[in-house]
A and B are shown apart, each in its own frame.
Chain A
């Protein structure tokens, strides 16, 4: 009798515990996601309805004007589509560049034998301690002396390599079976051929992960384009959005529409590839 009541008690406290756990994480999730819902809702409201009290989440009519205005040449002051394209292809180039340079260097540091290899690697890896903000000013000056300030070339040049990505690639390649390497050597494969025909096809997951992370980071990057680019038609989306906020100034409908436009590509990419994303975040954490 007493046994039954105890187990019942246990079960009900467990149920209560579960209930509060779900309640807690649901409230948390709501706080995380609410600003995005609010953003979309405001972007679809007619201007007047953005300023109602009490604030309404959804209005009776959905207004697409805030969006169409963004690429209407008579209304727009900034070419948001052009900026979106700039962001896309710059992030794409940077991510591709980083994947190539870091996989090559990671392979060399992990598998090839040459004098000073580990010392060079250690020195190179130590550079992750240098905060990006601390080298913005000197890098601007270096690129200016090379006449590269203001263009896309100067923007991507310092971003084409990454000590951190090299480190992750090296870690991955270190666990690559040595037999495969020896066999390919016997077959007369030089390191470049080995890299291209054997290593890369087997490193697709880490390459995809690295690509995604870098793409996302540079799609959102704000400070470096703000410093490096002056002309509006060359500018990237985040900086464009920042310019826009100065022009529209509390015209929330348009601002929210432009914000949604900035978020949509990366959120879709994230939803499709979230397994890779989560995996890569875990990867960075484990190495800490």
Chain B
């Protein structure tokens, strides 16, 4: 009943003020949001609509477009590269994201002890994340190099014969994916560490007094409390991994999407179809598919969130 009254009061207040928008607020309000909204309308809203329209054409940029109906969508089923790109993207994502989150969690838990020089370690771990992906690709290509790379040299010390990491169809995708784990680790660590530092100390101490060992404290108190942060780094990790292209593009001198297309990800293939082959119709079709995949995954993740997240941060 009380709630109801409060609700009614709020409603009333809102109603009266609705009639009384000041002209000044309206003028400045709309003016201030105008640049953002205009940009949103052109580069998001119209862009998405244009995508759909162009995906029904055979536009090659040089000649004028012809309406081809669903031909581009039918082509998805006959194009041998499309399923390959989807599978590559899936392998890349499901290898790098879970492993990356796990490693970041491990390091964050260790860093959350009373570690001296924490800011120093934080800077070291975060440096790859602020670095240019192209520069990073260059140095890792050098590390992975078959004959002179440091990785094969180190493996050689243990009697392992050199592997041609970036030209072997079996290793190249995971090799590139590993670099992305390395690059994104710092971002994940900082977010997880911030969440860990917010866990109330008295809760942990109370559990300790009750006789809970560190493993129990970790799994029963700390993990549930930081689950929103784990969720956040997983979601952002998935969304960026699905769109990954910089590393797969630059970690081969040929820039061809890998030996036998072993590193052709969806984003790379979209780029290639649209801007190398100049096939805008099929390119937008692929982009729409990727958009839908990301939407579906985000949707699923939000449902998972409802079920497994212990506490909401807000």
**By the criterion CB–CB under 8 Å, are A267 and B139 in contact?**
no
Residue in contact with A285 in the complex, picked from B126, B143, B182, B191, CB distance below 8 Å: B191
Q: State how many angstroms separate the Cβ of A78 from the closest Cβ of chain B.
A: 13
* Contact status B132-A266, CB under 8 Å: yes
Q: How far is the CA of A198 from the CA of B97 in the complex (A)?
A: 43
Q: Which of A24-32, A58-66, A67-75, A200-208 contacts B (4 or more CB under 8 A)?
A: A24-32
| Interface footprint category on B | 35 or more
Taking CB as reference atom, which chain B residue is nearest A18?
A: B113
User: 8 Å CB contacts to B: which residues of A125-182?
Assistant: 127, 129-142, 144, 158, 160-161, 163, 166
Q: Does B92 contact A (CB under 8 A)?
A: no
Interfacial chain A residues near B295, Cβ < 8 Å: 129
Question: Is there an interface contact between B228 and A158, defined as CB atoms closer than 8 Å?
Answer: no
Q: B30, B39, B134: which contacts A241 (Cβ < 8 A)?
A: B134
B235 and A288: CB pair below 8 A? yes
Nearest Cβ in chain B — how far from A121, in angstroms?
8
Residue of A nearest to B120 (CB): A29
| Assembled-state Cα–Cα distance A262/B276 (Å) | 26
Distance in Å from the Cβ of B180 to the closest Cβ of chain A? Answer: 13
Residues of A within 8 A of B233 (CB): 285, 288
Q: Is the CB of A109 within 8 A of B110?
A: no
Q: Is A50 an interface residue (CB 8 A)?
A: yes
| CA A258 to CA B138, docked complex, whole Å | 10
Picked from A117, A238, A245, the residue with its CB within 8 Å of the CB of B253 is A245
A contact residues around B61 at 8 Å (CB): 144
Answer yes or no: B172 CB below 8 A from chain A CBs: no
Chain B residue nearest to A165 in the complex (CB):
B36
Q: A281 at interface (Cβ–Cβ under 8 A)?
A: yes
What is the CB-to-nearest-CB distance from A221 to chain B, in angstroms, rounded to a whole number? 9
Q: Is the CB of A21 within 8 A of B113?
A: yes
Contacts A124-B40, A141-B54 given; does A223 touch B33 at CB 8 Å:
no
Please indicate the chain B residues that have their CB under 8 angstroms from the CB of A114 in the complex: 21, 25-26, 29-30
- Judge whether B47 and A139 touch: CB under 8 Å: yes
Assess A38 versus B32: contact at CB under 8 Å? Given A129-B295, A131-B243, A158-B43: no
Question: Are A138's CB and B21's CB within 8 A?
Answer: no
Among B32, B125, B132, B133, point to the contact of A29 (Cβ < 8 A).
B125
Q: Which residues of B18-72 are within 8 A (CB) of A?
A: 18, 21-22, 24-26, 28-30, 32-33, 35-37, 39-40, 42-48, 50-51, 54, 61
Tell yes or no: A88 within 8 A of B by CB. Answer: no
Task: From known contacts A134-B287, A134-B291, infer whether A104 and B131 are also in contact, taking CB-CB under 8 Å.
Answer: no
Interface residues of A (CB under 8 A from B): 18, 21-22, 24-25, 28-29, 31-33, 35-36, 38-39, 42, 50-51, 53-55, 101-102, 104-105, 107-109, 112-115, 117, 120, 124, 127, 129-142, 144, 158, 160-161, 163, 166, 190-192, 195, 216, 219-220, 222-223, 226-227, 237-239, 241-242, 245-246, 249-250, 252, 255-256, 258-260, 262-263, 266-267, 270-271, 274, 277-278, 281-282, 284-286, 288
Partner-A contacts on B (CB < 8 A): 17-18, 21-22, 24-26, 28-30, 32-33, 35-37, 39-40, 42-48, 50-51, 54, 61, 107, 110-111, 113, 115, 119, 121-128, 130-136, 138-140, 142-143, 145, 147-148, 150, 153, 182, 185-187, 190-191, 194-195, 228-229, 231-233, 235-236, 239, 242-243, 245-246, 249-250, 253, 255, 266-267, 270-271, 274-275, 280, 283-284, 287-288, 290-291, 294-295, 298, 313
- Knowing that A108-B33, A137-B280, A271-B123 are A-B contacts, what are 4 other residue pairs whose CB atoms are under 8 Å apart, sorted by A's residue number? A138-B51, A142-B46, A160-B35, A262-B134
Q: List 23 A-B contacts (CB under 8 A).
A: A21-B115, A29-B125, A39-B138, A104-B33, A105-B36, A124-B33, A127-B40, A127-B45, A131-B243, A133-B266, A136-B274, A137-B270, A138-B50, A138-B54, A223-B246, A223-B271, A241-B138, A259-B135, A266-B131, A270-B123, A271-B123, A282-B190, A282-B191
